[in-house]
Chains A and B, each alone.
Chain A
Amino acid sequence: MDPIIATFIEDNIVPKFNYWIYVILMMIGLYAMITKNNLMKKLIGMAIFQTAIILFYVSIGVKDTAGIPIISHHGSEHHQGATVHSESGSSSEEVSPVKVKNNTIDKDKYANPLPHVLMLTAIVVGVSTLGLALAISQKIFKSFGTLEEDEILNKLRPGSHD
């Protein structure tokens, strides 16, 4: 393999593969939403699109050394001595407003729970959007007898007798 490509993959794709996957998933979703003719396939694209964003947010909160974000006073010694390397929260370290004092919580031991909690809300929003869209597509199917967009548009033409 070309060494330039190899270094590119090593530097940019391998350490950030979750972000690449999110971008690829998002593009798949967008492609399906824009180009597919069947309304149900558009909805599948929409679900993929929303899931990609959830993956992105979940990736933000992950740190290499961190465990689940539940503060326990006994179990926290396990993680001591582990190398501190925050990958995805790369820049949040120097600018994070969470100034936890040393004697209380070591922020590298805990995954950031906030993006995950945000995604709980986003999942709920996504589910209700999908549910509503399914209900609407049912209504469309009842009145047009099809879910293919071109057939529906044909039936809406002024000349047709539907």
Chain B
Amino acid sequence: MTEHFPVLILLVPLFGALIVVLLGKERPNQCWMTSLISLGISSIISLFTVVAVLADKFQTIRYRMGGWPESNGYEVGIELRVDILAALVVFAVTFVGFVNTIYSKTRAETEVQGKVSFFYALIQLLIVGLCGIVMTNDAFNLYVLIEITSLTSYALIAMGNRRAALSSFNYVIMGTIGASFYLLGVGYLYIKTGTLNIDDIRMVLGNNNLWEHQSIIVAFIFIMLGLWTKMAFFPLHGWLPNAYAYAPSMTGTFMAPLMTKVMVYVMIRVMVWLFGNEFVYSGQHVWGELVIWMSVIAIVAGSLLALARTDIKKMLTYLIVAEVGYMVGGAWLGNVTGQAGAFYHILSDAAMTFCLFIAASIIVLRVGDSRVNAFDNLFRKMPLTMIGFTVGALSMIGLPPTCGFFSKWYLISGGIEAGQWEYVCALIFSSLVNAVIFFRIFERAYFGQITEVKEDFVPFDSDANPETAIKEVPWSMLFPLFIASGFVLLVGIMNRTLFEWIQTALKMVNT
């Protein structure tokens, strides 16, 4: 049974999506229940996969789709490949999907009226795509899965108001450029190696010593540019803030924590598994230094842009841009500590972004104002929500028991190890800016004045009513918030174990 886990993780939500479409828009509750069950099963299987990989001493699970055997030492069919890193990310994806489905119970019917079944079908397809991206071992298949996730996310974002449709259009243009660049890179790799399997490409490159060939360098640059566009690395981040801020709230809460992080995972995988550390970090190429500086600019610019926003969701999206800078910089430091730190940051950032987005969505829903003065006196009115928000915010700043502290710690120690002081400074600067941003909010939430809700500024995803007092939201929205904040603490407390697992997996491929 264990050997079929990788494909079951994909198949369960895939069929769930089909069933949801068949159930149709007349039965929104059954659609919700179906996707809850299918994502629940999927996340349980992925949890078992983590356990199975650990029990087997970090042995990689390989699954040949369609049972094609290898011939002459090369893979013929498409392979799924799960090591501990993939298993952890897949678990994060499916579990966030599951918890987000609980959150969307009441929201879906009001925010995407009449399209509930399509919403649940698309979100399950998105999860299939994300899990596929993480697990596949085929470079072209990776492109198709990237496009599956992109297509579903374009549609999910466009379900929002008219601003959402416009930002979704911009995302289509940018996303297509990114994916096409990736595809071009794969084409150049295929010209040189004649295979598409990631391990085989690495083997052919190594056996024929093609590292310094122009095609390979061009392929690497194209693939990196494509992935950076997809993950909103700073100068290419234009599509992200509007798309995530104007999307329906339950779409934003799912995509903000996962889309960019999965792309960072793909980048680490391409760097470590497809091209290899010797090629990526070799002193002959100028890009090592350059990318570190780009990530420094991304971190500083993302933090400052976030500081300049008064809209809470926009502010969080610019924080994501800064976090992508953390991870890209960490991955390019050129040592295992930096890579493992970047990878640990994928998990911790997924947890804390999820937590903050749910809290922000709840506050926008109840207060009816997405600007920072929405937080006036909110600790008294919505104490439970604010507890969740505080945990996420403290993690974003980087205070010890939360995961944000440990991921920054590992990234900074990686930076010191590599002697990249500009990166270390940028991380600390970003921490300080985050502290300013969030303590500004805390101050208002504790001591702020109660202001009237501006009637001309009620977002579409709000049910605020000036007549009634602001109160807590139903359990179906608070429960996900507490799970998310629980995970922020759990990932933080388990940092030693997780970091050792990640380091072991990265060292296994480097030797």
Contacts and interface: CB of A to CB of B under 8 A. Distances in A.
Interface of A: 30, 33, 39, 42, 46, 49-50, 53, 56-57, 60, 89-92, 94-99, 114-115, 118, 121-122, 125, 128-129, 132-133, 135-137, 139-140, 143-144, 152, 156
Interface residues of B, number: 38
A121 B191 contact: no
A95 B172 contact: no
Contacts of A118: 140
B151 A140 contact: no
Contact of A33 (B155, B177, B183, B208): B177
Interface in B391-443: none
A149 B450 CA distance: 39
A156 B163 contact: yes
B358 interface: no
Contacts of A50: 176, 180
Contacts, number: 98
> What are the 5 A-B residue pairs with the smallest beta carbon separation, nearest first?
A143-B162, A96-B194, A97-B74, A139-B165, A125-B147
B194 A97 contact: yes
Given A53-B183, A92-B194, A128-B151, 15 more contacts: A50-B176, A50-B180, A92-B191, A95-B192, A96-B194, A118-B140, A121-B140, A122-B143, A125-B144, A125-B151, A132-B151, A136-B169, A137-B169, A139-B165, A140-B166
Interface string B57-90: 0000000000000001110000000000000000
Contacts of B169: 39, 133, 136-137, 140
Contacts of A143: 162, 165
Interface in B177-203: 177, 180, 183-184, 187, 190-196, 200
Contacts of A53: 180, 183-184, 187
A46 B169 CA distance: 12
Of the candidates B155, B163, B169, B196, the one having the most CB atoms from chain A within 10 angstroms of its own CB is B169
A124 to B, nearest CB: 9
A95 to B, nearest CB: 5
B290 interface: no
A60 B190 contact: yes
A99 to B, nearest CB: 5
B265 interface: no
B158 interface: yes
A123 B196 CA distance: 18
A96 B204 CA distance: 8
B168 interface: yes
Contacts of A33: 173, 176-177
B154 interface: yes
Given A49-B177, A53-B180, A91 B192 contact: yes
B38 to A, nearest CB: 23
A158 to B, nearest CB: 10
Contacts of B208: 94-95
Nearest to A149: B166
Contacts of A125: 144, 147, 151
Nearest to B192: A91
Contacts of A152: 166
A62 B165 CA distance: 41
B210 interface: yes
A95 B183 contact: no
A57 B165 contact: no
Nearest to B171: A136
Contact of A95 (B144, B151, B166, B204): B204
B457 to A, nearest CB: 10
B162 A144 contact: yes
Given A95-B192, A97-B194, A136-B165, A129 B172 contact: yes
A95 B193 contact: yes
A94 B193 CA distance: 9
A44 to B, nearest CB: 12
Nearest to A99: B72
Given A97-B72, A97-B204, A129 B165 contact: no
Contacts of B165: 136, 139-140, 143
Nearest to B168: A136
Of the candidates B143, B190, B194, B208, the one having the most CB atoms from chain A within 10 angstroms of its own CB is B194
B162 A140 contact: yes
Nearest to B195: A97
Contacts of A90: 191
A135 to B, nearest CB: 8
A152 B184 CA distance: 33
24 contacts: A33-B173, A33-B177, A49-B176, A49-B180, A53-B183, A92-B191, A96-B194, A97-B74, A98-B194, A114-B190, A115-B187, A122-B143, A122-B183, A125-B144, A125-B147, A129-B147, A129-B150, A133-B169, A133-B172, A136-B154, A136-B158, A136-B172, A139-B165, A140-B169
Interface in B230-285: none
B119 to A, nearest CB: 15
B194 to A, nearest CB: 4
Given A91-B191, A118-B140, A139-B158, A97 B200 contact: yes
B193 A97 contact: yes
B445 to A, nearest CB: 26
A118 B190 CA distance: 11
Contacts of A96: 194
Contacts of B168: 136
B199 to A, nearest CB: 12
Contacts of B177: 30, 33, 49
Contacts of A39: 169
A160 B510 CA distance: 58
